[in-house]
């Protein structure tokens, strides 16, 4: 895939260490967006002129076996083996075939001709994008080559802004490296790019990001410094106030984009501003606001943050209807699910205790989010499967608690009516404390003692929901959004809890 453009971008003029002629000044250039690996392989094998015997391009073809293999020296191989780089010179290739004098020379010559024709007739299919703007190319640029290393707008803007004094990706990676200890080094570079654009005086959108090409290296360095400072304050807020222990447990990555802009404009919020920021986090997370964040949202959110920073408004939260409690019954626990992360965060605020050992769960370990060892089913999975329950219902968020692996093995596939008797006995007077720490109301516990799964889900869903709504500052009198239970409002990808 090629992009024909007069835009000057930093680019390589090498394919497989072979130099490509530089274009004429002001002449349209074809930038190679996708297909470099294929072209490098073909060109490297056919046009290699190196002298390193261990090179990956020191390739030969065995005319008898009709297979390719690597040579280990610069010496000429036997005549029935021909170096692939001779294919780029018909005279040299057929001269080699003519020199074969073995009894099977006719068969070897036919094998050689087939090889030559395969390369001669090979067609490289190309798609050329016209002289399109960055806004048009960027979505294509991000989607191509999805099976390999995906190219992103960050790569494109690196080329557009590069100078000996500034490298965009190096600057972003250097910024993220400052947050390794706090678990935020894995933030998507595109998220940081949005904030770099805002710090330079632009916005979050692709159109604003494109304007970065007009800034000097010093201006871009200043924007990077401002972004790093705002990220430091935003990350500190997430870790200390919200209990988001690392970037992977953040419900939506672009929440950090807006949060960073808030702390760029308000380095030291007062108490009421902190309360408004917390409310913004919990409301946008539970309502799934960032699940469909678009250019219009980006602009309105940036304006809202600016007005909030100037004291014109006392809130930055967009108008959102209160979601319904059944989201905790319809969402499945998956590691890339925003509401699963939100459940983990709100549980962390209640300091969950292991049902069997009564010991505090290691929240830091649970929120590392690299595996699901601390998250298990309250109604055991195999028990529910024997009853014929659907996987979606079995794995729903309302059936998930924090539990050590050791305790989970003891519970195994026992009916709740069996293992919860032991829980009640071991807990004694501490049972209400244990249940509250796991956001399980007493009525839901009683339903579980009867193996009443439906009642348990209904009661616990509402209890979890009330805990989140309390954080979000939603009152009971506000009506819920009828559409809020739609699973499509939230991304649910990858690994389901086992």
- Taking CA atoms, 346 is separated from 47, 51, 363, 402, 468, in Å, by 61, 63, 11, 12, 7
Helix pair angle (295-309, 255-265), 10° resolution: 30
The answer to whether residue 24 scores a pLDDT higher than 80 is no
pLDDT at 361 over 50: yes
Q: How far apart are CA 485 and CA 179, in angstroms?
A: 35
Q: What tens digit of pLDDT does each residue of 259-270 get?
A: 999 999 999 999
Of 253, 212, 219, nearest in space to 234 by CA: 253
**283-306 per-position pLDDT tens digit:** 999 999 999 899 999 999 999 999
pLDDT above 60 for 490: no
Task: With a cut of 50, say whether residue 493 has pLDDT above it.
Answer: no
Q: What is the pLDDT of residue 367?
A: 83
For tokens 């929440």, the residue is 255
SS3 breakdown of the chain: % helix, strand, coil, rounded to 5? 50, 10, 40
Which pLDDT tens digit goes with each residue over 65-107?
999 999 999 998 999 999 999 999 999 999 999 999 999 999 9
- Cβ-contact 94, 122 below 8 angstroms: no
SS3 of residue 173 by DSSP: helix
The top-scoring range by mean pLDDT among 35-44, 147-156, 307-316 is 307-316
Structure-model confidence comparison of residues 50 and 470, the more confident one: 470
Of the candidates 211, 190, 185, the one whose C-alpha atom is nearest the C-alpha of residue 142 is 190
Decide the pairing of beta strands 18-19 and 14-15. Answer: antiparallel
Q: How far apart are CA 466 and CA 472, in angstroms?
A: 10
pLDDT at 145: 54
pLDDT at 495: 32
**Total-model pTM:** 0.75
Give me the residue spans of the domains in the chain.
Answer: 2-120, 163-309, 327-489
Cβ proximity of 208 and 153 under 8 Å? no
Higher pLDDT, residue 358 or 146: 358
Residue 150 is predicted with a pLDDT of 61
Distance (Å, whole) CA 245 – CA 179: 12
In sequence order, what are the residues at sequence separation of 6 or more whose Cβ sits closer than 8 angstroms to the Cβ of residue 98? Answer: none
């Amino acid at each position: 895939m090629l992009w024909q453009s007069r835009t000057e971008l930093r680019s390589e003029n090498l394919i497989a260490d072979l130099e490509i002629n530089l274009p004429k000044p002001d002449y349209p250039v074809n930038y190679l967006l996708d297909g470099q690996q294929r072209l490098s392989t073909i060109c490297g094998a056919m046009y290699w002129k190196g002298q390193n015997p261990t090179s990956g391009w020191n390739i030969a073809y065995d005319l008898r076996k009709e297979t390719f293999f690597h040579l280990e020296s610069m010496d000429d191989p036997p005549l029935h083996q021909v170096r692939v780089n001779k294919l780029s010179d018909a005279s040299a290739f057929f001269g080699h075939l003519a020199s074969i004098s073995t009894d099977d020379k006719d068969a070897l010559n036919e094998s050689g001709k087939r090889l030559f024709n395969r390369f001669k007739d090979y067609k490289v299919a190309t798609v050329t994008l016209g002289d399109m703007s960055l806004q048009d190319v960027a979505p294509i640029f991000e989607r191509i080559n999805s099976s390999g290393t995906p190219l992103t707008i960050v790569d494109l803007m690196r080329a557009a802004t590069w100078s000996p004094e500034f490298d965009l990706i190096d600057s972003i990676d250097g910024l993220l490296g400052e947050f390794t200890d706090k678990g935020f080094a894995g933030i998507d570079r595109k998220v940081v790019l949005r904030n770099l654009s805002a710090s330079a005086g632009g916005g979050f959108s692709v159109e604003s990001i494109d304007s970065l090409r007009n800034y000097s290296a010093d201006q871009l360095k200043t924007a990077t410094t401002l972004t790093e400072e705002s990220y430091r304050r935003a990350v500190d807020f997430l870790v200390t106030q919200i209990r988001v222990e690392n970037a992977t447990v953040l419900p939506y990555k672009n929440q950090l984009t807006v949060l960073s802009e808030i702390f760029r404009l308000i380095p030291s919020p007062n108490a009421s501003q902190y309360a408004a920021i917390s409310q913004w986090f919990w409301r946008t997370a539970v309502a799934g606001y960032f699940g469909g964040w678009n250019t219009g949202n980006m602009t309105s959110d940036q304006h809202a943050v600016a007005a909030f920073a100037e004291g014109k408004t006392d809130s930055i939260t967009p108008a959102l209807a209160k979601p319904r409690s059944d989201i905790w019954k319809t969402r499945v626990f998956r590691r890339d699910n925003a509401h699963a992360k939100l459940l983990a965060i709100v549980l962390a605020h209640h300091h969950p205790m292991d049902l069997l050992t009564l010991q505090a769960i290691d929240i830091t370990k649970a929120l590392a989010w690299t595996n699901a060892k601390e998250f298990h089913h309250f109604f055991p999975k195999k028990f529910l499967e024997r009853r014929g329950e659907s996987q979606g219902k079995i794995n729903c968020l309302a059936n998930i608690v924090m539990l050590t692996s050791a305790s989970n093995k003891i519970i195994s596939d026992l009916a709740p009516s069996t293992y919860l008797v032991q829980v009640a006995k071991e807990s004694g007077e501490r049972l209400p404390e244990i249940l509250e720490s796991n956001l399980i109301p007493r009525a839901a516990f009683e339903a579980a003692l009867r193996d009443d799964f439906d009642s348990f889900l209904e009661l616990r869903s509402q209890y979890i929901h009330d805990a989140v709504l309390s954080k979000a500052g939603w009152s009971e009198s506000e009506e819920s959004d009828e559409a809020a239970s739609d699973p499509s409002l939230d991304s649910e990808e990858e690994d389901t809890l086992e």
